[in-house]
Chain A
């Protein structure tokens, strides 16, 4: 017998680095491409992905990231994060992977819901006006569970 297909996913993005944001976006976009209902929730530093002034400046984390395969002290040198990010963005462009702002627009157009976290918005003193227009609302954890009902929850 075939496995039961996934019909709905709620993906939480909690990190504000480039490598912390893209996987969740790719999963949300991919879910919609498969006809799966999808919602994106941004919490803590993940809210930089929907922050009007910050989402164009998301950087790769070069400190405390063994995957970078560089000396820890080097990762902390001023400007290194920008250089590494620039290199990675160039490679992504070659592969025609959209930038974060463009990706957000695409994902919203696919019909995926986008929400910000109430507690984090209060903590960082952010309001709806700080977020890109595609963000539908700032919601509480309780409202999140209501929206996620009947589906799978993925935390990134």
Chain B
């Protein structure tokens, strides 16, 4: 396990940059995390997905996959890929400060 500094706070992250302790995350960290994944501005729709990721994580113990996001977050799969071109579930999880979602479909 490694640590990194986001918005001036030291947090625990995995080797591929996912928070291992989601409690350490604050909304103020999201813009900096997004920038690191190539997203310059977080829109309301980005935030809708980010908050949904966190809610799902805390309710179910793992973040949703792209299919689940498309079915339940209120944002369509096409829109999700426009918001997070490098992989919606993966990138949104990294910005939302939760571990990488596990699930094949």
Contacts and interface: CB of A to CB of B under 8 A. Distances in A.
Contact of A33 (B65, B78, B85): B65
Interface stretch (A50-58, A73-81, A105-113, A148-156): A105-113
A109 B89 contact: no
B77 A33 contact: no
A30 interface: yes
A82 to B, nearest CB: 24
Interface string B70-91: 1000001110010001111111
Contact of B81 (A26, A97, A98, A111): A111
Nearest to B15: A2
Interface residues of A, number: 14
A6 to B, nearest CB: 13
A35 B86 contact: yes
Given A109-B70, A109-B77, A111-B81, A35 B90 contact: yes
Interface residues of B, number: 17
B59 interface: no
A111 B105 CA distance: 15
A11 to B, nearest CB: 15
B90 A26 contact: no
B104 interface: yes
A32 interface: yes
Nearest to B101: A33
A98 B77 contact: no
A109 B81 contact: yes
A34 interface: yes
Interface of A: 26, 29-30, 32-35, 96-98, 106, 109-111
